Structure 1
């Protein structure tokens, strides 16, 4: 790889402007450490002095001794003032970081409307601010806000903004598609022209995803000569988000032959994306390219048959390169090859001509007919396959549960669960309250198991879905419950089906914990009793 690209991550600043994302100082420090492990070159920490969380972050991040450069964000000095007297610029200097990101207007419409000043004064604001920061020994990344809209409206002025920033000593000139409305060909053409005018300047790109083009525009900018990419993990950001580094990094590195991060670090991309999703408490789309749970998932029997011969038939890269894995989805549409591939993937050997294989395939089809859906519940499927091949000896056995749901006038609903299970021959009876019956069951079951299996503290339920299967039966209809569970390393889904939503939830809940303990279950711990086959359990 002959050319290298500088990666500028703004998850902690621009990413937190996305709806539903709020990070504490501790959260930001955890994410910064994960980004540094990934090998990004710049980590934009926030706006110094804007809030207590960012103040604390900039104080504490120094103790992490990261390799990446921590940058502080701010805007140019106020109009008709002096840079030396601008509190915003002073706070950027006082943050004690080696680099800063300074944003300035490059669209004449914004200069007149938002700043309400002259074009000449805006240029002075940019020049004075950069010069002041440079005199204080800082590396300056200049973000030309609304650059592409500005260039299309007044190319001479937009180019003059970049020229002024360069003259004042800016180390990077970043062109921003702030409204996210520019097309890839426009990005390429504009940057190609600008790079000729600013020969030798270090150019950067910052795009937003309002037209679903942030990644495409970033790649177009790279092909036109840009050498710094600004973006966020999982595409977090205001409105429709920022350019998604989880798509950009592997595309640049694996398909365009450009060095971005250490090759060995690329295999941590999926783990990084999911970790940050967990800390931010935002569910990742399953179909997110490269790092999504479905990015390398196969369902159609013809597809599965082909990938068993050679995965290149239906995969554009080996998923392991980005730390993901191939998944074969099993459903009523799947053939024998899907089941055999899934068994192989988890280390089980099933002879396709054996009675054992025939029985497990028939069982899966029968359960699908009853309403189970294993394509969205890989963990339940794995448990089923391990049961069928004698790989699972249970660590705990269900005996009974009871629910109390009480509602009195003027008071909130109270849900309480009573659970009786057996662990290692000992019967345990616990009770717990919760925010609804499923949460109460979860709390009661954990209460019983944590003394034996403390690793369950690391997992939690992240999603809960209920689907009515027989609408014609109205309130007596069967329901299917899908539960997604997470820890910092993995995500898994389980399924339960019943005419009673509590029983279906219980089945999915128990499987989620059984899967979390799978390493111990497969070892055949003595503290176990065998559970009845799935779908036949009398809960």
Structure 2
């Protein structure tokens, strides 16, 4: 078996990723993320800033380089720099950074219309910058900005430029699809042509995701011989973002066996969630590898298949990324989904009780409520509790009104032993008005209602949804006290459910 080829992963979340609209990391956040990327995720290099941006950026770079020197990572810390007559080099010397990623023009269009220089003038200025960096102990990698359009529209210029760079003391050639315009075929062809012509030059590929082709383009660049990749956590970056780190790592590990990368898959989710918190840039629920829903089976048939030889599993096992498979609870849930969630909670029910619980979950799903695993014990308690008492009293219907300047009122239609009684009353709140209506009905029938002594409302601890609200009411009848519970997505309705249970108990 041939030796696997190593590919460097350069994470640019702290530089290119921070160009996401509305995102700005503090110096402390940058240092925390830098440590996680290198120590926890094991990426090979990180690009942390651009030179001469702000005092805050200056301080952030100083704190990261200070830590990196102590930790032995200083050669893995990179900064975007500019051809600016030594100003960027001076800035880097002061911050302690030792690797510059020099931004140059990779297309004749950019060179002519933005810099208004000839190739010879541009190359001369670049040569002077590289020499100055070398004199000050700074390594140089070179970005060819707009390289993808350069290969499409001015390939002779691109090859002339790389011919020049091949004679310079640079470490890496960085090839960005700056505007995210490449197709997978072009990504392969362009990288392959450069690696064939310059086999000894280390080539990095930098993809953007404007057409949602970032991961596909990276895969083709790797197949074409790219030596390194530029990625960001959660796919952060300008416009549609950069190629996402987690997706690329999974794709390479599963589909390019001849290539080896050092990123630790199990830490991807942990780092992703921290970056999400610091940046405020939310991960879509259906984001591959990282999204909340990507390891969640919703359809009951899928859960059933998982019980029978894992029929719906693929190589993207959640455990690889420090996650667990979940089984959604909703209107498409079947018995198998319920059983999977019960297993995770260590609960066991009879088939008859599972059928009752499933029916209740489907009812909630039809109301577009999201039910979580944490809600399940409450649903079980409510459903099984409801079946312990014969239903002689049923609240058939009710109208609750609450208007500014008017007392809340309720009209209730109550069935007692088959007799339908309708009444209305006012109260200090909707539930108080409901209780006043019941009191009116029971007084007319010569019956006494218990006294309400405590009223507690809660949602299931750990639940991330607003699907369920549990109301626990304590009643006192004579010298005896008892509690009833109601469960619903609406607080007042859950209290009414608890009250109907009380009416049947008495």
Shorter-chain TM-score bucket reads 0.7 to 0.9
2:416 alignment partner in structure 1: none
Counterpart secondary structure, 1:537: helix
Using the size of structure 1 for normalisation, the TM-score is 0.69
For residues 66 and 254 of structure 1, do their structure 2 counterparts lie closer, same or farther at Cα, with a shift above 3 Å needed? farther
> Do 2:151 and 2:158's aligned partners in 1 also have CA atoms closer than 8 Å?
yes
Alpha carbons of 1:182 and 1:531: their partners in 2 closer, same or farther (altered >3 Å)? farther
Separation of aligned partners in 1, 2:465 and 2:167? 59
Q: CA offsets, 1:136-157, max 9 Å, x none?
A: 2222221111111101111111
Contact 2:112 2:118 in 1 (8 A): yes
| Structure 1 pair 186–116 and aligned structure 2 pair: CA distance change class (3 A) | same
1:285 aligns with 2:284: yes
Alpha-carbon distance, 1:368 to partner: 3.1
Secondary structure (helix, strand or coil) at the match of 1:303 reads helix
Max radius of gyration: which structure?
2
Q: What's the counterpart of residue 51 of structure 1?
A: 54
Whole-angstrom CA distance in 2 between matches of 1:311 and 1:67: 44
User: Taking structure 1 as reference, are residues 166 and 301 closer, same or farther at Cα in structure 2, changes over 3 Å only?
Assistant: same
Unaligned ranges ≥5, structure 1 = 78-82, 391-405, 407-482, 486-490, 498-506, 511-528
Task: Go from structure 1 to structure 2 and tell me whether the alpha carbon gap of 1:531 and 1:30 turns closer, same or farther (over 3 Å shift).
Answer: farther
TM-score under structure 2 length normalisation: 0.73
Q: What residue in structure 2 maps to residue 414 of structure 1?
A: none
Question: 1:267 corresponds to which residue?
Answer: 266
SS in 2 for 1:332: coil
Answer whether contact 1:133 1:140 (CA < 8 A) is retained.
yes
Gaps of 5+ in 2: 385-403, 405-458, 472-481, 497-506
Distance 1:57 1:386 in 2: 52
Alpha-carbon deviation of 1:294? Answer: 1.2
Q: Distance in 1 between matches of 2:10 and 2:320?
A: 22
Query: What's the offset of the Cα at 1:66?
Result: 4.4
Q: Does 1:120 align with 2:73?
A: no
Q: Tell me the residue number matched to 2:357.
A: 360
Provide the C-alpha distance between the structure 2 equivalents of 1:281 and 1:386, rounded to a whole number of angstroms.
Answer: 36
1:347 maps to which of 323, 345, 348:
345
Per-residue deviation at 1:367? Answer: 2.9
Give the aligned partner of residue 224 of structure 2: 224
Deviation at 1:128, TM superposition (A): 2.2
Pair 213,248 (structure 1): closer, same or farther in 2 beyond 3 Å: same
Aligned partner (choices 5, 19, 38) of residue 17 of structure 1: 19
Change (3 A) 1:331 1:217: same
Distance 2:377 2:218 in 1: 43
1:173 aligns to what?
173
Cα deviation, 1:61-97, whole Å, max 9, x if unaligned, reads: 22364454111111223xxxxx4xx212221233212
Q: 1:225 to 1:388 in 2, by over 3 A?
A: farther
- Provide the C-alpha distance between the structure 2 equivalents of 1:199 and 1:530, rounded to a whole number of angstroms: 78
2:205, 2:483 → 1: CA distance?
58
| Change beyond 3 A, Cα 1:66–1:373 | farther
- Secondary structure (helix, strand or coil) at the match of 2:465 reads strand
Structure 2 distance, partners of 1:29, 1:202, is: 28
